Amino acid sequence: MRDAPIRIDGISKRYKIGQQERYLALRDVLTQTLSAPLRLFRKPRGNSQESGTDHFWALHDVSFDVQQGEIVGLIGRNGAGKTTLLKILARITKPTSGRARVRGRMGSLLEVGVGFHPELTGRENVYFYGSILGMHKGEVTQKFDEIVRFAGVEKFIDTPLKHYSTGMQTRLAFAVAAHLEPEILLVDEVLAVGDLEFQKKCLGKMEEVSKGGRTIVLVSHQMNQIRRLCNKVVWLDNGQVRKVGPTVEVASAYETALLSREDGARRPADGPKVKARFLRWEIAEPRDDNPYVLKSSGPVRVKFAIEVNEPLRMLHNGIGIYSAENQLLWGTATNIASLEPGVFEFVYDLAVLPLKPGPYRWRVSLYDEQKLVDVWNCCPDLLVDTEHHGHPYDDWAGLLNIPNQFSIYNENGNRYNVRAVRGALWT
């Protein structure tokens, strides 16, 4: 039996609170040392306890193995430690305690396009990026044409990157990464960007890779991706392993927890009882197996359940929908005269929800006499999985996805018969 490619044994990682926000200044250290010269010798690094700085455990005693050829999904809420764990496996940072053993050539994709330089051409960036991901120059040369074709940027490959649109840059970076052929691949949420079409292409590529016996560890918030790709899921909660097992089992346990009131969809009801709070949301019409996935371009009914604990007067209810890049795409607000205690459903009937395929987030808020009562970034995300009606190139498709028909009429108002096909420029 071959040894497992990844073996994680009791990994913990402790951060100083605020470590990432504040830098030390030599100036401060010098003045401290001058004012209390002995401290430096007494406790070289540990004056944090005295001054009351706190630590927190980003990861605590995490252990699991990843077998050859497995695709393991890491799931959990933001701040659960998924990225920290990937960073430790990728050797970007070291654990505070515990050990891990990684066997085989490893590639990590924590962010797409790391080290891209706007002044360099697409070609130059491909070589540098490939190299930093761990490819040899010969490998890049060998796969160069394939990479460029995959990204669809043949014409611009010798143009400086600063003239590329964001979509093109992302595609190029993905393409390089997708052609990296390590035995172990660590991927962090990178597939959340880019258009869905391209995402599918990348997912396909990853499936292909895993069939070749390679091992993948993947962080994603998109449960449909996790379900499609992974055969094992590790659920991290507050830096600890909550559950490990087959995808179906762990993924549904996680989703149940997200939806249940005690733990998940909502932040727990902390401290004093609030006047009112949003509980959950769902797509009521059209119904799908998954109430967070939208598959139709037609009318949509969305429901937000809210619990009211005290009588409210002069309410103001806001709703907005945000893109994955956190751009507000649409919002509106309603004034409501009053609500008595109880559980209500706020129902929005939308004639259309013309969004491009991909993940989105609702944000709902409630004000009482101009004071904020509750605001909720709805969890889970809305996943739009409709047909794409826009331009095939991301850069020209725009923000919306408007269902449409095209036809040509002549002067007499008769339909003009000619072959007309949707697509990019004639090629």
Partner 1 sequence: MSVLVESEAESKEPVWEIAPPSGWFGLNLWEIWESRELLYFFVWRDLKVRYKQTAIGVAWVFLQPVLAMTVFTLFFGRLAKMPSEGLPYPVFYYTALLPWMYFSAALANSTNTVVEHQRVITKVYFPRMILPFSAVLSGLVDFAIGFLLLIGLMLYYHLVPTVATLLVPLFLFLAVATALAFGLWLSALNAIYRDVRYVIPFLVQFWLFASPVAYPSTLVPERWRWLYGLNPMAGVIEGFRWALTGHGQAPSGLLLVSTATVLLLLFGGVVYFQKMEGTIADMV
Identified binder of partner 1 from the candidate list 17, 19, 32, 212, rule CB under 8 A: 19
Answer yes or no whether residue 119 interacts with partner 1 by CB under 8 A.
Answer: yes
Closest separation between CB of residue 304 and partner 1, Å?
Answer: 37
Q: Which amino acid is at 253?
A: A
Answer yes or no whether residue 163 interacts with partner 1 by CB under 8 A.
Answer: no
Cα(1)–Cα(3) distance, integer angstroms: 6
Which CB atom, from 218 or from 364, has the smaller least distance to partner 1? 218
Answer yes or no whether residue 110 interacts with partner 1 by CB under 8 A.
Answer: yes
The residue among 185, 177, 179 whose CA lies nearest residue 217 is: 185
Identified binder of partner 1 from the candidate list 48, 93, 252, 334, rule CB under 8 A: 93
Residues 6 or more apart whose Cβ sits within 8 Å of residue 128: 115, 117, 120
Cα(323)–Cα(172) distance, integer angstroms: 22
Which H/E stretch holds residue 335?
strand 328-339
Place of tokens 């040509």: 408
Which CB atom, from 14 or from 228, has the smaller least distance to partner 1? 14
Identified binder of partner 1 from the candidate list 59, 66, 75, 106, rule CB under 8 A: 106
Answer yes or no whether residue 313 interacts with partner 1 by CB under 8 A.
Answer: no
- Tell me how many residues contact partner 1 (CB under 8 A): 48
b/e 196-210 (16+ beta carbons within 10 angstroms → b): bebbebbbebbeebb
Identified binder of partner 1 from the candidate list 120, 274, 293, 400, rule CB under 8 A: 120
Answer yes or no whether residue 102 interacts with partner 1 by CB under 8 A.
Answer: yes
Q: Print the binding letters for residues 130-149 with partner 1: x by CB under 8 A, - otherwise.
A: -xxx--xx------------
Give the largest CA-CA distance in the chain: 96
- What tokens does 261 get? 């009131």
Closest separation between CB of residue 1 and partner 1, Å?
Answer: 8
Identified binder of partner 1 from the candidate list 87, 143, 201, 275, rule CB under 8 A: 87
Measured CA angle at 249 (ends 259, 109), to 5 deg: 85
Q: Which amino acid is at 249?
A: E
Answer yes or no whether residue 123 interacts with partner 1 by CB under 8 A.
Answer: no
Which CB atom, from 132 or from 375, has the smaller least distance to partner 1? 132
Place of tokens 């209390």: 36
Residues within the interface to partner 1 (CB under 8 A): 2, 11, 15, 19-20, 23-27, 29, 87-106, 108, 110-111, 114-115, 117, 119-120, 124, 127-128, 131-133, 136-137, 183
